[in-house]
Amino acid sequence: MSEQNVHYKTLGLTEASSFEEVQAARKRLVAEHEADPRQKEGIEAAYDAILMERLRLRQEGKIKVPDRIRFAEKQAKPKISPTPINSGLSNGSPQWFSDLLDQPQSSSELLWPSIIFAGLAAISWVLVPADSAATAATANTAANSTAAVALALGMMATVYFLNQKTRKLWRSLGLAAVGLVVGLALGLLIESIFQGQGQTLSSNYTSSLSASITLAVLWFITGFLR
């Protein structure tokens, strides 16, 4: 019996056995003789000898040896997942929008902004003079002044709270300005909807409505943007 046949016999195989069968036999026998170092050494030696013999035959062009035999010492490389096309999106939203949003960590973060903006909205309504208390022109001027003061204080509060979170003054000023424009535009839109349905507000309270809507927008920006 040739030396190579002895190696195959050690593993319980024949020369016609596939590489998978050689590997399986080695693994099984090593596990069976875990407590016998000499047996394990003989099994490993037979396995190595079979591999070397098959490599030699491969070099001579007599057999084809899979790459996993020639490079058995190399571990399988982890597959790298391709970068998804929407990697710049988060939950379906653009990345810049996700970066702009801010999730309050607790309700206490919204407490003071809510109190301040609710108070300013109340001021814009409470301090408006009634039609009977003054002439129409005087009442309208007073209402506009009250609304302007409330919006000015709301802008200052928005810049303050945003700057506390981001430490970026110019960004805070920009977001506050955007909130002012959006709020006033929504106020005009809602007023036009009322008028379209045949419902009109007293001229004294038109400014209060726009101021309240704008303050609500500024409150949202303060609490949920950064």
Least confident of 24-38, 43-57, 117-131, 148-162: 117-131
Q: 89-98, 150-159, 189-198: which has the minimum mean pLDDT?
A: 89-98
Residues near 135 by beta carbon (within 8 Å), at least 6 away in sequence: none
Helices and strands, counts by H and E, the chain: 9, 2
pLDDT at 157 over 80: yes
Q: Is the model more confident about 140 or about 178?
A: 178
Across the range 157-184, mean pLDDT stands at 87
pLDDT confidence of 18, banded at 50, 70, 90?
confident
Contact 22, 72 (CB under 8 A): no
CATH numbers and ranges of domains, the chain: 3-70 (1.10.287), 94-224 (no CATH)
Residue 190 has pLDDT above 50, yes or no: yes
Q: What's the confidence (pLDDT) of residue 111?
A: 85
> What's the CA gap between 80 and 77, in Å, rounded?
9
Overall average pLDDT of the 112-126 stretch: 86
- Reported as a pLDDT band with limits 50, 70 and 90, residue 203 is low
pLDDT at 199: 58
**pLDDT tens digits for range 58-113:** 777 766 555 554 444 444 455 555 555 444 444 555 666 666 777 776 676 778 88
pLDDT at residue 134 above 60?
no
Question: What secondary structure does DSSP assign to 50-114, as a single string?
Answer: HHHHHHHHHHTTSS---HHHHTTTSPPPPP-PPPPTTTTEETTEEHHHHHHB---SSTHHHHHHH
Is the pLDDT at 137 greater than 70? The verdict is no
Whether residue 195 has pLDDT greater than 70: no
